[in-house]
Amino acid sequence: AQKVTQAQTEISVVEKEDVTLDCVYETRDTTYYLFWYKQPPSGELVFLIRRNSFDEQNEISGRYSWNFQKSTSSFNFTITASQVVDSAVYFCALSDPNSGGSNYKLTFGKGTLLTVNP
């Protein structure tokens, strides 16, 4: 069975600090996708990144960066110079290879609530 673990339930930082959100996953499949989503107080989930299991390159997008390490089954997310607007719940998710094709089901972690204080 697939599993996604986000061990950090809540993180609180002061603005401009760097913060890393951890994600560890379990799957027996060799082909899968990993995702990060942001859920602001409004409730809608906002897509941040998708990474496939064959691409272990780190990704940087502005203040966001992602570190994918297959050897440790981790897909960590770092926000550099955090801002108050980054305050949200962040979810890591793993695609379900048994759902067939690309209409995949996602297994979500429980989320990390990030609070950035001014």
Q: Quick one: which of 30, 44, 57, 98 contacts other proteins (CB under 8 A)?
A: 44
Does the footprint of other proteins cover residue 111 (CB under 8 A)?
yes
Q: Quick one: which of 43, 54, 57, 85 contacts other proteins (CB under 8 A)?
A: 43
In a 10 Å sphere around its CB, with 0-12 CB exposed, 13-18 middle and 19+ buried, how is residue 10 labelled?
exposed
Write each residue from 60 to 89 as x if it is in contact with other proteins (CB under 8 A), else as -, in one continuous string: ------------------------------
Does the footprint of other proteins cover residue 42 (CB under 8 A)?
yes
* Gap between the Cα atoms of 91 and 77, Å rounded: 10
- Which range of residues in 15-23, 37-45, 53-61, 72-80 is near other proteins by CB under 8 A? 37-45
Report the relative pairing of strands 88-95 and 33-39 from DSSP bridges: antiparallel
Please compute Rg for the chain using Cα positions.
14
